[in-house]
Structure 1
Amino acid sequence: MSHEECETTVVKDCYCPACQGDKATTTLLLTKIPYFRELIIMNLYCEVCGNRDAQVSFGGSIQDEGQRITLTVRCSEDLNRQIVKSDSATLFFQTLDLEIPRSTQQGKISTLEGILQTTVNQLTQQQAERLRSGDVDNFHRCRAVIDTINRWINNAEIKSENETPGIDNSSDFPFEVILDDPAGNSYIENFQAPKRDPQLTHTPYRRTPQQDAVLGLQPSFDTEKNTEHTDSKALRYKIHACEDERFEPTEKCVPKDEIMSFPTTCPSCRCPTETNMCTTSIPHFQSVILMCMLCSNCGYRSNDVQGNGGAISERGTRITLNVTDMVDLSRDVLTSTTATIFIPEADLEVGGCSLGGVYSTVEGILTQIVGHLETTNPFAMGDSTIGRTGGKVRQEGELSYRFNDFLNKMKAMISGQHFPFQIILTDPLSNSFVGRRSGNSDVSVNERAMRDENLFLEEYERSHAENEALGLNDVMTEHDQLTP
């Protein structure tokens, strides 16, 4: 980090919330954590009363979607996970029926144990006041919460060495911690990075108009109440275009190869802009929807490929590609938002929500995966790689070394230095596609799969869980009839 990036700003004669004087000094540091976000670190010190306060605010952009992270705490080691709680995030402990709101412990980087200890201190400070005011019921509820948290912390400190790692015999475990951040700028450390942590669940969601207002954003066009009660701008366009005729999405309402534009809001600067949409067909595959946006105000650009331009497939598709040379790296690949990519050699699984709809080559997909992993694993860099786990100091740089070894293996695959390896693309809606090798004749997908020694195509019946996740179990078509 350069000297300019670490330059501090000192503001004197600030207001002190403790003594209500104006002799406090605030120090501001604008910096950036590698593979994470821009941060504003603020420290306040009052010479009169000695009050100190430190906060961390996020100086970067608000993410396109909110993020809900659920952690299952199975043992005392999980209390040492590092947590980034932005000033818009809330923490909820279902076992305790306890919520740490956005106004409490704002902009904090700590461990789960540190956040719990701060909660105990804050609750304990008000216990005497609760008794004096006669709020006995609330006093006992708070004491029960304090006692439970203290048992968690004390169990982490006195845990015996002969206990099985990763398993806690205490009846207080397991319990769940839910970190909900509408801005999408909060994180919980992944002990298995870069692999998937089975104790962590990430759920992205669209913000409500109320959440947008709290963040100081104008509610998106999708969430504003309208007389038609539609959820998307594209669907609203189709309704207007087809109000006098039978609804036929692909053929009439969304003409193929014709570019349509509709108004939207830039997720970066929140200024009005336009999104272009076009429906086209991939030969011997199906129709896809191409969407792109370029903001003329700030230059932000994005593109997306939706592989659901036609009807929903009756079966899912699993495509297995054996990458043996540079020609296989140049194959065209279309991944939809419902597809999952699995690379056995790297023990890596990436869901469709991570990359979104992407049309690229094998090399391009792998490059995007590496970039996404570097961006979403802030605890694999810097001081955060040194911590305590289960009362023992972790080997310095252990997480960083493991993460960097993984990235080096992925980059070797991209550069053609690691052959062969396998890519398994599973899509329950059959909206993903792997192209032919250069020089092959123009044949259909099934014929290509039979002739291509490195490409294998398999259709399978979707499970009940997959249908439930896609919302297909609630679709009722028994009484529908086709209109000639």
Structure 2
Amino acid sequence: MSLISEDSVRGENIFKDISADADDFQATEIESMCMNCHDNGVTRLLLTKIPFFKEIIISSFSCPHCHWMNTEIQSAGAIQDQGVCYTLRVKTKKDLDREVVKADCATTRIPELDFEIPPFTQKGALSTVEGLLDRAVAGLEQDQPVRRATDPQVADKIDEFIQKLCKLKAVESEFTVVIEDPSGNSFVENPVAPQKDESLTVSRFNRTVQQDVSLGLRADDDLEEEAPANSIDAMRNEVLVFNTNCPECNSPASTNMKLVQIPHFKEVVIMATNCDSCSHRTNEVKSGGATEDQGTKITLRITDNSDMSRDVLKSETCGVLIPELEFELGMAVVSGKFTTLEGLLTDIKDVIVTRNPFVSGDSTTSDRMERLNEFAEKIDKIIAGEMVVHFILDDPAGNSYLQNIYAPDPDPEMTIEKYTRTFEQNEELGLNDMKTEGYETEN
């Protein structure tokens, strides 16, 4: 039985990458009581991390006396700033094999059957779409013997519904699976990465007060206190420091926050975390102003390596498109940051290729590896100025920026479009009273 020591917590990251080659990748075994026969069994805990989902704890219980088993996962990472909603259109049987991470606070819905699994009624799971269906069927079948004895009519209706769920696995017709997680810690695999998944829609949303309460982020009677009138002025002239934990090794660290005015643009909040234990560094940018009346679409034609030195502000609501690569990056994949164009392209390559959880281990396929390696080579060519492409920042909140090196004159290689948001974009931003038609272009 392996134990988690204080040295391992403070010295190195106890959350290891999933890998079939790791020799020291051992589970922690704990003797615990079986909830079925009340004798003693064994719980195995595995602390690992999945990029795009951060750290997780996988626990598996088995009882040698009654042979009862139970497996679940729990998120070990921080609750995200926004919730996430995955909407998957299941069209073929291959879609049933998609990897899914479902947090215990997530709601699962199948609109075609008017079926919903409420939050906190199931433990978190690392599974597939088919596994979610099997788990739903097993949950409904669990109390069927008692229902058949006490209420046969209800039992018959549930049997009929179970048959409908089982038929979904044949994919005789398309159906929709929706996973809505206010913690932002659920995940559905995109098997065609780095290309856009036409069957999968990912949206972010602001939590309600009730959702914050259910996640333990605020008390039932928590009241928001109004900030002093001069607090913003004070923040502009100083760096604020907050105590936190390193997202990599969980050691005590500090986060620095500063309001910065970007020339020819607006004010932003830059947050940086440095860890003295593992030297891990992160930086994130939040918009310091309100959501603009219109969205902004910035298109740059990259023709030379000198374009890589342009300053870029990518907000947390901004998507990235490179049409020549048939590549589209959703707003939530790379966090908001203030960097250079080369830095942003390097981050995109790192997220899509280097830290992709499905390019190593048992889930790797040669076709997927070849496709991702080809994408990485093209990104390197763009950075080196050997490939002419269009780089597009599409921000429905209007809070992103790309430096005009010819300012105050117009940039001949860059265009800026102002557009009115669609209803769906307003939904993602929590703005449902905006108009949805019309485009206006400016150079």
Deviations 1:149-196 (A, max 9, x none): 22223x35xxxxxxxxxxxxx4xx332211123333322222322212
Match of 1:72 in 2: 89
Match of 1:397 in 2: 366
Aligned-partner Cα distance in 2 for 1:241–1:191 = 49
Match of 1:424 in 2: 392
Within the candidate set 250, 259, 265, 1:278 is matched to 259
Within the candidate set 158, 162, 166, 1:146 is matched to 162
Shift of 1:55: 3.1
For residues 43 and 307 of structure 1, do their structure 2 counterparts lie closer, same or farther at Cα, with a shift above 3 Å needed?
Answer: closer
Aligned-partner Cα distance in 1 for 2:266–2:201 = 32
**SS of alignment partner, residue 17 of structure 1:** coil
Shift of 1:458: 4.3
- Give structure 2 stretches of 5+ with no counterpart: 1-18, 436-443
Counterpart of 2:69 in structure 1: which amino acid? R
Within the candidate set 401, 426, 429, 1:433 is matched to 401
Within the candidate set 255, 259, 263, 2:237 is matched to 259
**SS of alignment partner, residue 404 of structure 1:** helix
Equivalent residues of 1:324, 1:421 under 8 A apart: yes
Aligned pair 1:8/2:27, yes or no?
Answer: yes
Aligned-partner Cα distance in 2 for 1:184–1:429 = 20
Give the TM-score normalised by the residue count of structure 1: 0.70
Match of 2:229 in 1: 241
For residues 326 and 97 of structure 1, do their structure 2 counterparts lie closer, same or farther at Cα, with a shift above 3 Å needed?
Answer: same
Match of 2:433 in 1: 474
For residues 76 and 472 of structure 1, do their structure 2 counterparts lie closer, same or farther at Cα, with a shift above 3 Å needed?
Answer: closer
For residues 98 and 418 of structure 1, do their structure 2 counterparts lie closer, same or farther at Cα, with a shift above 3 Å needed?
Answer: same
State how many pairs are aligned. 410
For residues 375 and 96 of structure 1, do their structure 2 counterparts lie closer, same or farther at Cα, with a shift above 3 Å needed?
Answer: farther
Equivalent residues of 2:52, 2:333 under 8 A apart: no
Alignment of 1:284-295 (within 5 A): 285-292=264-271
Aligned-partner Cα distance in 1 for 2:46–2:421 = 52
Within the candidate set 115, 123, 130, 1:106 is matched to 123
Aligned-partner Cα distance in 1 for 2:46–2:242 = 35
**SS of alignment partner, residue 203 of structure 2:** strand
Shift of 1:17: 1.7
Counterpart of 2:259 in structure 1: which amino acid? C
Shift of 1:363: 0.2
Equivalent residues of 2:310, 2:341 under 8 A apart: yes
Aligned-partner Cα distance in 2 for 1:218–1:256 = 27
Deviations 1:112-171 (A, max 9, x none): 2232123323423422311211262x3233122111122223x35xxxxxxxxxxxxx4x
For residues 189 and 295 of structure 1, do their structure 2 counterparts lie closer, same or farther at Cα, with a shift above 3 Å needed?
Answer: closer
Alignment of 1:148-167 (within 5 A): 148-153=164-169, 155-156=170-171
Aligned pair 1:407/2:386, yes or no?
Answer: no
Counterpart of 1:20 in structure 2: which amino acid? H
Aligned-partner Cα distance in 2 for 1:34–1:354 = 10
Shift of 1:77: 3.5
Match of 1:457 in 2: 415
Equivalent residues of 2:235, 2:258 under 8 A apart: no
Aligned-partner Cα distance in 2 for 1:195–1:261 = 39
Counterpart of 1:424 in structure 2: which amino acid? I
Aligned-partner Cα distance in 2 for 1:123–1:428 = 42
Equivalent residues of 2:353, 2:373 under 8 A apart: no
Aligned pair 1:46/2:25, yes or no?
Answer: no
Give the TM-score normalised by the residue count of structure 2: 0.75
Aligned-partner Cα distance in 1 for 2:416–2:93 = 44
Equivalent residues of 1:254, 1:279 under 8 A apart: no
Equivalent residues of 2:87, 2:176 under 8 A apart: yes
Aligned pair 1:448/2:436, yes or no?
Answer: no
Equivalent residues of 1:256, 1:280 under 8 A apart: no
- Give structure 1 stretches of 5+ with no counterpart: 157-169, 229-235, 243-252, 386-395, 477-484
Aligned pair 1:199/2:199, yes or no?
Answer: yes
Equivalent residues of 1:43, 1:53 under 8 A apart: yes
Aligned-partner Cα distance in 1 for 2:97–2:330 = 27
For residues 206 and 188 of structure 1, do their structure 2 counterparts lie closer, same or farther at Cα, with a shift above 3 Å needed?
Answer: same
Equivalent residues of 1:264, 1:274 under 8 A apart: yes
Shift of 1:329: 1.0
For residues 410 and 36 of structure 1, do their structure 2 counterparts lie closer, same or farther at Cα, with a shift above 3 Å needed?
Answer: farther
**Greater C-alpha Rg:** 1
Aligned-partner Cα distance in 1 for 2:202–2:189 = 12
Equivalent residues of 1:294, 1:301 under 8 A apart: yes
Match of 1:232 in 2: none
Aligned pair 1:219/2:218, yes or no?
Answer: yes
Comparing 144-153 and 36-45, the one that deviates more: 36-45
Equivalent residues of 1:261, 1:274 under 8 A apart: no
Counterpart of 1:126 in structure 2: which amino acid? D
Match of 2:14 in 1: none
Equivalent residues of 2:51, 2:357 under 8 A apart: yes
Comparing 88-97 and 257-266, the one that deviates more: 257-266
Match of 1:19 in 2: 37
For residues 21 and 193 of structure 1, do their structure 2 counterparts lie closer, same or farther at Cα, with a shift above 3 Å needed?
Answer: same
Match of 1:364 in 2: 343
Equivalent residues of 2:312, 2:402 under 8 A apart: yes
Counterpart of 1:144 in structure 2: which amino acid? E
Match of 1:344 in 2: 323
Shift of 1:35: 6.6
Aligned-partner Cα distance in 2 for 1:473–1:96 = 27
Aligned-partner Cα distance in 2 for 1:462–1:191 = 32
**SS of alignment partner, residue 55 of structure 1:** strand
Aligned pair 1:324/2:303, yes or no?
Answer: yes
Match of 2:314 in 1: 335
Match of 2:109 in 1: 92
Aligned-partner Cα distance in 1 for 2:42–2:398 = 60
Percent of aligned pairs sharing the same letter: 31
Counterpart of 1:150 in structure 2: which amino acid? C
